[in-house]
Amino acid sequence: MYIRRPIEPFLWLLFSAGGVMAALFIPATLFLFGVAFPLGWLTPPPYDRLLAIVGYPLTRVLLFGLCSLSLFHGAHRFRYTLYDGLQIKHLNEVINSICYGGAVVGTLVAAYLLWIVP
C-alpha cells in the first residue's frame, strides 16, 4: 500500500535549518571547548562569565534552536546515510524511530537544561 507522508517536506525544512545552524555555530564552539581549551592553547572563560552568557535570554533561545535543529538535521541525514550507504531500507520504521525519536528526546533535554540554568 502506498503511504503518503505529508511530514516529509517539513523534515527537509528542519534538515536545512539545522544544517545552516550547525555550519555557522558549531565549528568555533567545538574548536574552543573541544580542542583549544583541553589542549591548553587558550584559557577557558571563568565560570561567572560563562553563566552570564548562557543565562542571557537570547543565548538560551539560540542554544535551544541550535541543539534542536542540529539534532533534527543530524537525524534526517543519518537516516539517509543508512538508506543509501548500508541499503537497509527494510528497517525503515526502526531507523526512523531511533533517529527522530532521539532528536525529540534531545530537544526536550535541551529545553529542560536551558530552563534550569540560573
Partner 1 sequence: MTEHSAYTPYHPRWHRTRVSTYWWLGRGSYFLFILRELSSLAVAWFVIDLLVLVSAIAKGDAAYQQFLDWSGHPFVLALNIVSFAFVTLHAVTWFNLAPQAMVVKVAGKRVPGALIAGSNYAALAVVSLVILALLLTRW
Half-sphere exposure of residue 64: CA atoms within 13 angstroms, side-chain side? 16
For helices 57-85 and 92-116, give the axis angle rounded to 10 degrees: 170
Binding mask 54-83 for partner 1 (x = CB under 8 A): x--------x--xx--xx-xxxxxx-xx--
**Is residue 106 at the binding interface for partner 1, with CB under 8 A as the rule?**
yes
**Is residue 49 at the binding interface for partner 1, with CB under 8 A as the rule?**
yes
**Is residue 111 at the binding interface for partner 1, with CB under 8 A as the rule?**
no
CA dist., res. 75 & res. 98, Å (int): 9
Q: What three-state secondary structure class fits 11?
A: helix
Look up residue 34 and give its three cell numbers. Answer: 573541544
**Is residue 98 at the binding interface for partner 1, with CB under 8 A as the rule?**
no
Work out which of 8, 10, 13, 50 binds partner 1, going by CB under 8 A: 50
Work out which of 25, 65, 98, 104 binds partner 1, going by CB under 8 A: 25
**Is residue 95 at the binding interface for partner 1, with CB under 8 A as the rule?**
no
Strand locations in the chain (E): none
Q: H/E element holding 8? A: helix 8-30
> What is the binding site for partner 1 (CB under 8 A)?
1-2, 16, 18-20, 22-35, 37-39, 42-45, 47, 49-51, 53-54, 63, 66-67, 70-71, 73-78, 80-81, 84-87, 89, 102, 106, 109-110, 113-114, 116-118
